[in-house]
A and B are shown apart, each in its own frame.
Chain A
Amino acid sequence: MWLDQDLANFMSSPVMIILGTSNDALQPEIGRAVGALVRLDGEIELVLSAWQWPGTLSNVRANGRLSATFARPSDYVSYQVKGHAVVVPPTEEHRAGAAAYIESISAVLAELGLEREVSAPWLVNRDLAALSLSVDSVFVQTPGAKAGQMLQGGQ
């Protein structure tokens, strides 16, 4: 599925990235990503700490189901993408992207009054892993009347 350029730009900007997976018993699990490489053909590579979020990784390995919400801290503009993912080996690009993301999002949060010591536990790059997500659908998640509305994709 092709992604809109504006949406791709948004997802690549310093926004919070949260990940939802579920295991085979349908117990959901939450994780955080530290960076996204967004390709317009609908592939998003999400980088996360395997040390911090082992459950997210094992769920993706088990069934591939992955949803990710991108939320801009300054105005709560949010989009959720859903699709199927595989675990891929992290590359230098992923590592560099994670370092740049952590630096830029920390700065954004600090500007909003959140000290770096407080955001540090969410922005961890220890033992990096990467998930390659093929997006099937995109939803508006910004609080308001349009929340939950499908933007792209779907059956």
Chain B
Amino acid sequence: MLAVPPLWLAIGAAGLLRPRSLRLSALWLFPLGAAAAFVLAAASLAELAEPAQSLVLPLGLPDLPFHLRLDPLARFFLFLLGAAAGGVSLFAAGYFRKGEGTAPGLLCLQYHVFLAGMAMVLLADDAYLFMVAWEVMALSSFFLVTTQHRIAAIRSAGFLYLLLAHLGAISILLCFGVLQGGGWQFTFDAMRQAHLATPWSSVAFGLAVLGFGAKAGLVPVHVWLPEAHPAAPSPVSALMSGVMLKTAVYGLLRVSLDLLPQPQWWWGLALLGLGLFGALFGVIFAAVQTDMKRLLAYSSIENLGIIFGGLGLVLLFAASGHPLMAALALSATLYHCLNHAFFKSLLFLATGAVLHATGERSLGKLGGLIHRMPWVAWLALIGTLAIAGLPPLNGFVSEWLLLQAFLFTPQLPQPFVNMLVPLGAAALVLSAALAAYVMVKFYGVIFLGQPREPALARAHDCGRLERIGLSWLAAGCIALGLLPVPMLALLDAVVRQLLGTGLGTLAPWWRLAPVAVERASYSPPLFLLVGGAVTLGAAWLVHRLYHGRVRRAAAWDCGFPLQNARMQDTAEGFGQPIRQIFEPYFRMQRELPAPDDPRPAYRVTVEDRFWGALYLPAAAAAQATARLVGKLQQGRIAVYLLYSFVTLLALLVFVL
């Protein structure tokens, strides 16, 4: 397992041998990297419940060797990394073309360094290695985002990403500084022994939320996601959204449940509130997007919000002495991480295939692709249904588990928290229902209906490797949806490591009943069996008893004679009800044509209020400070000599 990150680095370095050769990276290096990823996933899954193993590498600075540790938590996230990255790498092998910015060999290096960086983040057992790996991950992904660096918008998106990544990194660094508790030992083991006092542990937790939240797209430090995801090539967006955001979840789990002592209940409440607010925020903004990758980026903000909300629930229960409920919430949260890795990677890759086939990212110029790209369309349908939280696919399972955790809320010591938790359930179901709206819009506008541009008639389906990559991820969505019990039994090792108690036995394998069968149970295989049998039985009976005759004719459309592709709902049209209902949440600008305009144009832009409220003032303040400091720099040598003289005088006064 430990051989995989160096192998990825070697694969990346091999790409540099012939940086201009596409054949080398597409035919050999990317498939090899995918194989390594699958090996990593299989090995991590097989050893998930094994006891923790530590290793000290004689690398790094003198007296600061790299500490590695493999425990169930790290193995689970390594499994997630391997399973998702395997599919993405296979797709990437067929995806990258020549002449798109960075040369293929260099891209291969950046891609595999990114993978290795993420793996090292998960393996690190001291703050030093963790930060090095974290920075490797951030920088390599920055270069991947700016693959097409000749476009100014992509450069500025990359800059925004880099800025927030470093704000987060500083916060994480400070968090580790607090965690070491005065012992000046930066191994995680020393931090576990540090026994911080409560105020300091709360400070560390706050810094961790800010730092990891900036990576995971927690509102209000989410603004880089909708910029960077559309800018990056699709396999990179898939990896960033599917896997890299989860390394932030891993980091927060590691800090809050492993390194810090007993959590405080209000940490949980704060995180629950932040997460659920982010979930609603993300999904409402996703509903009004017109760029397919921005839409998915906002949907990632939603899903990570749900994950952080679940994590808040875990902390709340763990702090109030309800370990079983905490275990249920943690299982649900981890399961959602895994689900999101599969379906979001799948959908990002599908948008990549669409982008290559049509050259369009804007929803307003797509449509009807199910006829031209059946493979992509039907596989994307699985991802769409999964992310919309429909049974029997995987998105529903984690949503179900999380709702159970919300509903079985035992009596918590704080009465008002008791009242707030069900409101959290309300926010969760609202965002889940809105996600279905968003995904119908996403799928319907891209793949269904009539093509909105004549050029779409030339769209082609994706190649063989891309199909295999997509199929793997879709199969993961189905398998995780149908067989949650075996997967949860494996996850139990992680839950026991973090909380001390697990969910216990979950038998039988076909029925999920975390508390008791009489109270709540869900059996996906039986569900699919009965649903499928009834559906197919109905179809068979209808054809048997009557007939299966079909005639083709022009669409009826209430008899309206004029029908063209422009008359379908656009993405703006489909989002219009949401824009109207949630109007106060948006910063909206409308431009309506004058009544006598011979060429009327209607334009509406929807922006994030956080830009105006938080980021633009912060940027202005930074610039004002810079200008003040700038006044000191006169550029005249006499002035600088004066500064030295004054400093000397001041020092003399202080010392004497």
Partners in one complex: no
- Chain B contact residues, CB within 8 Å of chain A: none
